[in-house]
Every structure is written in C-alpha cells, then in structure tokens.
Amino acid sequence: MSARIMDGKALSRQVRAELGARVDRLRARTGHVPRLDVIVAAQDPASLAYVRMKRKWADEICIEGESYELTERTAQGEVIGLIERLNADPAVHGVLLQHPFPRQLNENAALLALGAAKDVDGITPQSLGRLVAGLPGFRCATPLGIVRLLEHYGIEAQGKRAVVIGRSVILGKPMALMLLEMNATVTVAHSKTVNLPDLCREADILVAAVGRAEMVKGDWIEPGAVVIDAGYNKVEGRAGDVGDVDFAGASKVAAWITPVPGGVGPMTVASLLSNAVDAAEAALG
Ligand code: NAP
C-alpha cells in the first residue's frame, strides 16, 4: 500500500483564499479589516520566524496587526498592562501570545489575562475550558487545522479508535478533546506510556505530537490507518524540518498521511487566521 497524501499546503491555500474574500466583504460592509496583534519574545529566532510567516500570510489577505517584542528586561507588569490594553481596544480583534516567553515572565499569568474573545490561538485556560465543556469558543489552531484536514479528506472519526501521542496544552490535550467531539474513542499517550508501539498499532487514526524526529516507525502503524504528523524537528545535518513519523516507512502501510513540511504546519496558520477573521466579524457585526 502507498498512503495518500493529506496536502495541508494546498488546503491552506484554499482556506486563505476563502478568508481573503470574507475580509473583502467585511471591509466593504464596515470599512474595517481584521487586526491580529502578536506578542513575541525578541530573542527567540524560531518564534520570530513563525511570526514572520504568519504575518506574511496575514498581509496577503489584508489582516492587519502590530507586533510587540518582549526582551529579557520586560517586567511582568508591562506584559499584563499591554494585554489589558489590547483586551480593551476595540480596534484589536485577536491577540497571539507566541510561546515561549522570556524566562523571567510568567506565561500562564499572561494567558489568564487575555480575554477569551480575543484568544484566536485558542490556548488560554478560558478557551480550553470551553472546549472541555463543549461550549463555543476559539479552538486551538494546530488541532483545529488537523480536524479541518480530516474533514476535507472525508475521513470519518466517529466510532474510530484514535491515539494521540503527546499531551501538551497546545496540541496533544486539545487534539484528544476535539477527536472526542468527533465521536472517536481516544487514547492519549505520553513519555510514561508503556509499550507505545503496540498501542499505536491499535489506532485507526494516529496523531504524533511529540517533538522527536521519526520516532513513530512504519511497523507501529496498522495497515490502512490515518497518520497525522504534527512534529517539527531540527536534525543536525538535514535541511528543513523532520516530522515525528518515519514518513518512508509509514507511507507504505498507512491509507492517509500528512507530510512534513506541507501537512499540519500550513493548516495551523490557516486556522489561526480563520479564527482572527471570525473574531473580527463577531466584533464588527
Ligand atoms: P511538548 O510540549 O514538548 O510535548 C511533547 C509531548 O510528547 C509530551 O506530552 C511528552 O510527554 C510526549 N513525549 C515526549 N517523549 C515521548 C516519548 N518518547 N514517547 C511518548 N511520548 C513522548 O511539545 P508540543 O508543543 O506539543 O509539540 C510537539 C511537536 O509538535 C513538536 O515537534 C513541535 O515542534 C510540533 N508543533 C507543531 C505545530 C505545527 O503547527 N505543526 C504546532 C505546535 C507544535 P510528557 O507529557 O510525559 O512529557
């Protein structure tokens, strides 16, 4: 078997074209475009690169936004003051708190300060609580992008056995909850899970969200399974990013697979922008 590719790059392009049309209509109706502001650590090259990519795609569909850079000298009170100002500013529709913050800052306190109506990355305790409770709210961008990929390719989760490897607050946990919302039977694995390969072999849908290059091997995968690789890892001596799944091995047995790059990554950004457009439409009426 040779797995079919779930092309996140192509789907993201389509989503962004649709968002561009919504932004045009919003501007025609209200005279305003969405504004997504970003708070990011100035000393973190990976974060700055992600934010630049997000900014470029936002610019293409006329989503405006300011960037605020945190340094090693930024005080906690300054960040909270900034977030409170952005919460209160009606011109700002969404705020992205790019992880990680400089070490001296309490990131959880910053997340708690951000109003749920502007949490377009869906990562504050308020938004995550809404997900747990099944209430409307912004869903976390990466798992939301994965859900959109599954839906786009007509992959039914209902009644399926799903295994999510990873339990981070921004990825593994919300992914498990979203698969549960889709009526899958979900198991969450982590670094203390015993006999992970056998557990993975039980999965109809396997999501790898670990941060370990090519940890998931082809023989961990049930023939015909759907394999979603959320990992982005740097490997010395190899150009570009490497996923958590051994793509060559896995694509021989899986029915569907996401590539790295070009799978989950572009859909994360598309989902963030889509949440920002939703936020602007809700605020502008
Ligand atoms: P994280 O916070 O480091 O969490 C990693 C999770 O993997 C933890 O729950 C950890 O378990 C688990 N884990 C670590 N080693 C394991 C092992 N040997 N066996 C089983 N589980 C293991 O990472 P994250 O932020 O969720 O990110 C995960 C990956 O996704 C990274 O490669 C990251 O770059 C990527 N990512 C991609 C996107 C995107 O847009 N595509 C967005 C965010 C993140 P414990 O909880 O027990 O420590």
Burial call 237-265: b when 16+ CB within 10 Å, e when fewer: eeeeebbbbbbebbbbbbbbbbbbebbbb
Q: What is the mean pLDDT of residues 262-282?
A: 98
The ligand 1 atom at the shortest distance from the C-alpha of residue 171 is 26
The two domains 31-115 and 141-265 share their CATH topology (first three levels equal): yes
Report pLDDT for 206.
Answer: 99
**90-129 pLDDT, tens digit each:** 999 999 999 999 999 999 999 999 999 999 999 999 999 9
Percent of the chain, pLDDT > 70?
100
Q: How much is the pTM? A: 0.97
Q: Is the pLDDT of residue 283 over 80?
A: yes
Other CB atoms within 10 A of residue 49 CB: 10
Percent of the chain, pLDDT > 90?
96
- Indicate which residue of 7, 44, 119, 121 is catalytic: 121
Q: Provide the token pair at 10.
A: 């192509």
CA angle, 84 then 119 then 72, to 5°: 60
Q: Is the pLDDT of residue 46 over 90?
A: no
Q: Is the pLDDT of residue 282 over 80?
A: yes
- Indicate which residue of 44, 98, 160, 173 is catalytic: 98
Report pLDDT for 1.
Answer: 66
What mean pLDDT value characterizes the chain? 97
Architecture of domain 141-265: 3-Layer(aba) Sandwich (3.40)
**181-209 pLDDT, tens digit each:** 999 999 999 999 999 999 999 999 999 99
Task: Write down the domain spans for the chain.
Answer: 31-115, 141-265
Q: Is 54 one of the catalytic residues?
A: yes
Distance CA 257, CA 278 (A): 29
- Site residues for ligand 1, CB cut-off 6 Å: 142, 165-168, 170-172, 189-193, 196, 209-212, 230-233, 264-265, 268
Maximum Cα interatomic distance, the chain, rounded to a whole number of Å: 57
Half-sphere exposure of 54 (CA within 13 A, CB side): 32
**The CATH fold of domain 31-115:** Rossmann fold (3.40.50)
Q: Indicate the burial class of 174 (C-beta count within 10 angstroms; 0-12, 13-18, 19 or more).
A: buried
